[in-house]
Structure formats: C-alpha cells, structure tokens
Amino acid sequence: MIVNERIVDYINTLGKELPPELLSLEKEALENNVPIIKKDTQGLLSFLLQVHQPKNILEVGTAIGFSALFMSANTTPDCRITTIEKVAMRLVEAEKNLNDKRFPNKDKISLLKGDALVVLKDLVQEKKSYDFIFLDAAKAQYMAFLPELMKLLQQGGMLVTDNVLQDGTVANSRYSITRRDRTIHARMREFLYTITHSEGLESVILPVGDGVAISYKK
C-alpha cells in the first residue's frame, strides 16, 4: 500500500459495485492469491474508459481475464479488446473465463497467446492500431515493450500502465534495494523517466493501487 490504507478503503466504498459475475471472479482471484487490478485502479480505469470511449483496446497481460472482462463491461458495444498472455497456467483460467456465458460482453474480447514482445512485433507488422492500451504484464519488460506500443498507439490514444511504483520502492535509492531486485528497479525507473520526458507523450504518474502511469500520445 503506497498511500494511507484508511483513505483508500474509504474511497473504495464510494465506488460503484461490480456486476455480480465480475464480483464473483474478483473474489475467486483474491482467495487464490491471483493478482488482479485493485479496487482503486478499477475506479480509475473505468473513469478513463468512460471519458475516452475507445473503439480498439490492446491489453498486455491477460492473467485470468479479469481486467479484459472489466474493460468489456465499461466500454461501448462496438469496442473491441485484444489481450495478450503467455503463461500457460494463466491461459487455462483466461480461456475458461473469457468463454464463460456469465459474462455478457465476452464476445468483444480476442485472446492472443505467446510472448508479448513477439506478439507486439507481429501486430506492428500487421499494421494494427489501438486508441487505448492497458499494460499490466512483467514489469521488467515494460521498457522493452514501449517502442512497439508507441508504434501501435494511435495519435490521441492513451497508454495506461499499471504497477509502476512497486509498493513505493521505485522511489528508493538502488542501494537500498536487494541485489536481486535492482534490475527491475532500474528498468522501471528508466521506463517512468522515458514516458515523462518523451516529446511524443504527455504523462502523469498517480499513486493509485500500486501506481498507475497515464500517457497521452500527442
């Protein structure tokens, strides 16, 4: 928790309740220690989707499909969502959930299997473009993904990146970070510096959930 837990709990009480089917999936994920987008991040993501009204969404990091299904419930009927996942154990659950008849908007979603960087390069080759990208994958790879994401993101599009503050440790000196975590610490700091200093992006970093970066492509 990177901000006062009592305040976050209060803010979360003000948010809209999830539809029953998503609430059930969220509960299942939490009981099984599966990482999904936190409540306050859900509120921010829902707001951005309602304001931006995207038509083509790309998600990097499907996990069990919760965030894709969440986005499908917070977008217009003609919106299409493409989501990428490579971890076999996650794909089993993702395919099950994305085909579950409980979710009325599941047909908006297409699942691509494979290493995200390879899939992103393929999408670039296919000249795909997206007006909203949600990045929630292996944090150490965010910087590697960024050049391909910039090619795929339309002008005027939005890149939303989750888990960028690493429980607040990204603000610490590298010498206070355990040796095994220094690489990911350095790569995340490089990613955050790059998106906030890029001439092609307007970015803001928010202490929501485990940190969310919102970038607008000029």
pLDDT tens across 15-54, in order? Answer: 889 999 999 999 999 998 888 999 999 999 999 999 999 9
Q: What is the pLDDT of residue 1?
A: 63
Token pair of 10 as six digits:
């209060």
Strand partners, 81: 57, 109
208, amino acid identity: V
The CATH number of whichever domain residue 78 belongs to comes to: 3.40.50.150
Per-residue pLDDT tens digits for 69-97:
999 999 999 999 999 999 999 999 999 99
- Please count the structural domains in the chain: 1
Per-residue pLDDT tens digits for 128-178:
999 999 999 999 999 999 999 999 999 999 999 999 998 778 878 876 777
Structural domain of residue 83, as residue ranges?
5-217
